[in-house]
């Protein structure tokens, strides 16, 4: 039966009171929960609460002498399958981002060799502060899984981003993270973001695409045990800690990068919004403005996905279609034209730039709706679906 060991790290914030319910839910969900609290967390809630709910002793002191080898930080981080920090305060996030180890919980996190999931919770202004955002992007880059925060009324009376996400969502995130192995050892290639087709030295044509969905899929494939290569057009995102990250600009660059990887790819997930056309002749100098009309000759770009899916021995290919009208009809037509076992359809107006999406998966068995959820959650569901189809292949 599914029994995993989880270290619940509680840091100092008012949302610490919700961590007690979380400990209860995780225990009921068959996790063996070990709780470690910071000194400030103990001001908000008592260790006895967690001890009673989990049936395990609670630690907060780096100098705890009960640990058999006096190295609680090493034994803890070796004996658990994952660490969940809930709530993760702004101060603790700053510590993690800088690799500090000045208390038991921070030392365990630094010594870990398992996934780390954090649920930030703080006042909205602390959340928006560029120092906090900088720290979070460092953590994201280091492969830390960040869940939330949510928006709404805060304990301080203000309204905005910074509430800890609901406890049931955290339980789901832990389960999803530990459901690794479905793509263990498989090589997954993901394209993401837009491409940029230069007109002259300073101008170009591009598509609206934040890259968020592609990056989330790369992260989810990694969590499922795959070796992931991510080929990305220009985005403002920090890449997840994938095996290979290849930054490209134009569709032709993206095609070259994909072709260099494809021979060793098992699954190709084409999420990029590739520009359909490029400029026939790129001006090396900046074009001068005039009052006359300007015509540009555009030539079609190669369809990267179609090139891959028509290879003599193609990898398992997954396409995306963002449509503004007749979603299912247009998406199914694309799936047949591009010869794909699976195509993911979404409404362009809902998905672009947003942190959430609603997806329709179209495959030989029909359609499967993934109701609205955050992109990382959708990515994990999609990866589950891909791994089950891939195994049937
Ligand atoms: O642009 P379109 O709707 O045809 O995109 C459908 C799928 O084809 C997407 O998965 C996209 O990444 C891929 N595509 C591609 N190369 C193109 C155009 C689209 O790989 N030139």
Using a cut of 0.75, tell me whether the model's pTM lies above it.
no
Question: By CB neighbour count within 10 A (0-12 exposed, 13-18 middle, 19+ buried), where does 129 fall?
Answer: middle
Ligand 1: atom nearest CA of 319 is: 10
DSSP sequence for 159-175: EEEEEPPPHHHHHHHHH
Taking the chain, what is the end-to-end CA distance rounded to the nearest angstrom?
A: 28
Domain boundaries, the chain: 4-178, 187-392
CATH code: domain 187-392 is: 3.40.50.10300
Instruction: Tell whether the model's pLDDT for residue 139 goes beyond 70.
Output: yes
Q: What is the DSSP string of 53-118?
A: HHSS-EE--TT-S-STTS-HHHHHHHH-SEEEEEEE-HHHHHHHHTT--SSHHHHHHHT--S-EEE
Among 319, 324, 343, 382, the mutation site with the greatest number of ligand 1 atoms within 8 A of its Cβ is 319
Counting from 1 in the atom list of ligand 1, the atom nearest the Cα of 271 is 12
Å from CA of 341 to ligand 1 middle? 15
pLDDT, tens digit, 9 for 90 and up, residues 108-125: 999 987 889 999 999 999
Residue 80, both tokens: 């658990």
Write down the pLDDT at residue 72. Answer: 64
**Those residues with Cβ within 8 angstroms of residue 70's Cβ, 6 or more apart along the chain or in another chain:** none
Residue to substitute in 274, 309, 318, 382 for testing ligand 1 pocket (most ligand atoms within 8 angstroms of CB):
274
Q: Among 9-23, 71-85, 150-164, which is the least confidently predicted range?
A: 71-85
Residue pair 308/254 in contact (Cβ under 8 Å)? The answer is: no
Phi, psi of 177, rounded to the nearest 5 degrees: -65, -35
Told to judge if 156 belongs to the known catalytic residues of this protein, a careful annotator would answer: yes
Out of 42, 114, 156, 168, which one is annotated catalytic?
A: 156
Q: Whose CA is nearest to atom 21 of ligand 1?
A: 303
Which ligand 1 atom lies nearest to the CA of residue 301?
Answer: 21
Atom in ligand 1 nearest the alpha carbon of residue 322:
3
| Ligand 1 interacting residues, C-beta cut-off 6 A | 191, 251, 270, 272, 274, 276, 301, 303-305, 319-321, 334
Nearest in space to 271 (alpha carbons), one of 234, 237, 231, 310: 231
Determine contact, residues 199/281, Cβ cutoff 8 Å.
no
CA of 370 from ligand 1 middle (Å) equals 21
Q: Can 4-178 and 187-392 be said to share one CATH topology?
A: yes
Number of CB atoms found within 10 A of residue 99's CB? 11
What pLDDT, on a 0 to 100 scale, did the predictor assign at position 68? 61
- Say whether pLDDT at 61 is over 90: no
pLDDT band per the 50, 70, 90 thresholds, residue 1? very low
The pLDDT tens digits for 153-210 are 877 777 888 999 999 989 988 987 776 578 988 999 999 999 999 999 999 999 999 9
Mean pLDDT of the chain: 92
Q: For domain 4-178, give the CATH number.
A: 3.40.50.1950
Residue 2: pLDDT band with limits 50, 70, 90? very low
* Phi, psi angle pair for 368, to nearest 5°: -135, 125
CA–centroid distance, residue 310 to ligand 1 (Å): 14
């Amino acid at each position: 039966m599914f029994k995993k060991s989880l270290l619940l790290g509680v840091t100092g914030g008012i949302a610490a009171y919700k961590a007690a319910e979380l400990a209860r839910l995780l225990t009921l969900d068959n996790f063996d929960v070990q709780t470690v609290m910071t000194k400030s967390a103990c001001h908000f809630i008592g260790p006895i609460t967690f001890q009673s709910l989990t049936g395990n002793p609670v630690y907060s002191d780096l100098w705890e002498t009960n640990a058999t080898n006096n190295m609680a930080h090493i034994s803890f981080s070796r004996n658990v399958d994952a660490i969940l920090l809930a709530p993760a305060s702004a101060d603790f996030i700053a510590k993690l981002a800088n690799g500090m180890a000045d208390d038991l919980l921070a030392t365990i996190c630094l010594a870990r060799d398992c996934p780390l999931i954090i649920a930030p919770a703080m006042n909205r202004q602390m959340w928006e502060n560029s120092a906090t955002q900088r720290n979070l992007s460092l953590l994201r880059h280091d492969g830390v899984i960040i869940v939330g925060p949510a928006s709404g009324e805060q304990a301080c009376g203000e309204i905005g981003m910074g509430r800890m996400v609901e406890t049931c969502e955290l339980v789901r995130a832990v389960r999803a993270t530990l459901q690794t192995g479905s793509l263990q050892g498989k090589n997954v290639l993901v394209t993401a973001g837009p491409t940029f087709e230069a007109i002259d030295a300073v101008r170009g044509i591009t598509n609206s695409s934040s890259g968020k969905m592609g990056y989330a899929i790369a992260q989810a494939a990694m969590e499922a045990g795959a070796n992931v290569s991510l080929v990305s057009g220009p985005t403002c995102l920090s890449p997840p800690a994938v095996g290979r990250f290849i930054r490209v600009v134009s569709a032709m660059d993206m095609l070259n990068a994909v072709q260099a990887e494809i021979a060793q790819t098992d699954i190709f997930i084409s999420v990029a919004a590739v520009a359909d056309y490029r400029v026939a002749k790129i001006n090396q100098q900046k074009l001068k403005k005039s009052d006359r009309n300007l015509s540009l000759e555009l030539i079609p770009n190669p369809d990267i996905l179609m090139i891959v899916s028509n290879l003599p021995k193609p990898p398992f290919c997954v396409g995306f279609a963002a449509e503004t009208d007749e979603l299912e009809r247009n998406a199914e037509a694309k799936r047949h034209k591009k010869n794909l076992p699976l195509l993911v359809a979404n409404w362009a107006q809902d998905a672009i730039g947003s942190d959430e999406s609603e997806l329709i998966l179209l495959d030989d068995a029909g359609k499967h709706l993934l109701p609205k959820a955050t992109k990382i959650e959708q990515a994990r569901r999609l990866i589950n679906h891909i791994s089950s189809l891939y195994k049937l292949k």
